[in-house]
Amino acid sequence: MKMIDLGQSGLKASAIALGVMRITGLDLAGATNLLEAAHDAGVNFFDNADIYDGGKAETLFGQALKNANFSREDIIVQSKAGIVSGKRYDWSHDHIIEAVDGSLKRLGVDYLDVLLLHRPDALFEPEEVASAFDELHNSGKVRSFGVSNCNPTQIELLKSAVSQPLVANQLQFSLMHTGMIDSGIHVNMTDDRSVDHDGGILEYSRLHHMTIQAWSPYQYGFFEGVFIDSPKFPKLNAKLQELADAYHTNKNAIASAWLIRVPGTQVIAGTTNAHRIQEIAEAGNIRLKAQEWYDLYFAAGNDLP
E strand map for 153-210? 166-172
Q: Can you say how many angstroms the Cα of residue 3 is from the centroid of all Cα atoms in its chain?
A: 15
Nearest 5°: the CA angle 260, 120, 195 is 60
Nearest 5°: the CA angle 121, 149, 213 is 145
User: Which listed residue (52, 204, 220, 247) is catalytic?
Assistant: 52
E strand map for the chain? 3-5, 12-14, 16-19, 45-47, 76-81, 83-84, 88-89, 112-118, 142-148, 166-172, 211-215, 219-220, 225-226, 265-269
Active site residue 52: yes
Contact 4, 266 (CB under 8 A): yes
23, 37, 67, 250 from 32: Cα distances, Å: 10, 9, 6, 24
Nearest 5°: the CA angle 289, 216, 299 is 40
110 phi and psi, to 5 degrees? -90, -20
- Where in the sequence numbering do the catalytic residues fall? 52
